[in-house]
Amino acid sequence: MQQTYRTRTGETISGDVPDVPAGGAAAQGAKIAGSSYGARNDGPGPRVMGASTLSGDEVLNRQGEKLGTIEEIMLDVPTGRIAYAVLSSGGFLGIGDKLFALPWGSLTLDPENKCFVVDMAKERLEKAPGFDKDHWPSMADENWARELHTYYRARPYWE
């Protein structure tokens, strides 16, 4: 008999389907294109990955336009949840890049193409609240976080 250990988010270690109601905490993570919870994984894969393997991945919109690359993945340390992916966009060779904090739940991982997809027009991203590498916002500030999630029309990861 295979044992299953459930975490606080409703995710399971064994790969069984999580026991979480619709809209529950497990629904707040990045979606994965072309996969299912029931798929067997014999090692690291799209469900459990090292954050460093995702840094540098391209982010495309649904129209296939490149929006930027993943610069960093930000954790909410007390809850153990991924809060944001920091997208680097514009500039040249890292100079003049603008950074954007994207709510983790707004992303879809496409493991076959090794990229993320976000449902956003390039023009909307260009108008999004951003920051530069030397002036990061206080991402633990609840007001900042609520405004960000409102802009991206994403449910806050802590709800």
Long-range CB contact pairs, 119-123, < 8 A, 24+: 119/61, 119/62, 120/61, 120/67, 120/152, 121/61, 121/63, 122/61, 122/63, 122/65, 122/67
Cα dihedral across residues 114, 83, 99, 154: positive or negative: positive
Please compute the mean of the pLDDT values over residues 7-25 and round it to a whole number. 35
Instruction: List domains and CATH numbers for the chain.
Output: 28-151 (2.30.30.240)
The overall pTM is greater than 0.85: no
**pLDDT per position as a tens digit, 113-156:** 889 999 999 999 989 999 988 899 999 899 999 999 999 999 99
